[in-house]
Amino acid sequence: MATTPDRLNLNKEERHLVRLCGIVSGLEKKITKKDNRPWALFTVASRSVSFPVNLFSEAYETIAGIKDGDVPLLMDGAHVIVDARLIWREERSEWSINAHAVSPLRRAPSLVKRILFALKPGPEASEFMEKLVTHTRKVDGITSVQIGFTQPDGRILIAEATSAMTTRFDAESYGYFAKHPACAGVQIEALPPSQPPQRKFGPRG
């Protein structure tokens, strides 16, 4: 479930890497007073929470030209993934979210490192496994797949997955397996957020 940074027990002395997914709204393009470089403010909204995001000049100049198909990525209504740094601002007593990478939300399946399907034992589980094996043979990807079986005491017994069982899911194929009658639950491990690029400093005068 999505939550806001103020509800998390985070070390305020550190900078934290975070990833946000949602819809862009309230986009405001601005110009810095010091050197007239463009930057932007916008909100990333999910169903339950909204996050104000800063996109400072260096990141803005890299991201402004990116398109999702023929549509600019930086526009109200765009579905995006945002990698950012979460920084505590003592002077304002609040967390600041400073983005350094923005990409289309449809890229999300490529960020899934591992997926575990927990199955209910029975004949429907056999059908699920047959469909899953067929899918992994047809669709290449980096996502490793594990299978677990629910136990009467509530535990999940996880079977060791073969290293060759890697694939990729789009929204349709993921929806099929997640909603299959044999599937009791899904656990997803994503790749970590990207690191911000190193700042480039010019020669000293």
Which tens digit of pLDDT belongs to each residue from 7-37? 667 888 899 999 999 999 999 999 999 899 9
- State the pLDDT confidence band at 48, using cuts at 50, 70 and 90: confident
CATH class of 11-105: mainly beta
pLDDT, position 92: 86
pLDDT greater than 80 at residue 167: yes
How large a percentage of the chain has pLDDT more than 70? 90
- State the pLDDT confidence band at 204, using cuts at 50, 70 and 90: very low
Mean pLDDT of the chain: 89
How large a percentage of the chain has pLDDT more than 90? 68
Average pLDDT over residues 104-131: 92
pLDDT greater than 60 at residue 95: yes
Query: Between these two residues, 162 and 184, which has the higher pLDDT value?
Result: 184
Contacts of 87 (CB under 8 A, 6+ apart): 15, 95, 96, 98
pLDDT, position 106: 87
- State the pLDDT confidence band at 127, using cuts at 50, 70 and 90: very high
Strand 112-119 with 143-150, pairing: parallel
pLDDT greater than 70 at residue 200: no
Q: Which residues in the chain belong to E strands, given as ranges?
A: 16-31, 38-45, 50-55, 67-68, 71-72, 79-89, 94-104, 112-119, 143-150, 156-159, 166-167, 183-190
pLDDT greater than 80 at residue 136: yes
Where do the domains of the chain lie?
11-105, 109-190
pLDDT greater than 70 at residue 104: yes
Q: Is 0.85 surpassed by the pTM of this model?
A: no
- State the pLDDT confidence band at 199, using cuts at 50, 70 and 90: low
Which tens digit of pLDDT belongs to each residue from 168-190? 998 899 999 999 999 999 999 99
Q: Which residue has the tokens 């980096």?
A: 142
Q: Cα dist. 144→58, 140, 164, 181 in Å?
A: 35, 11, 8, 22
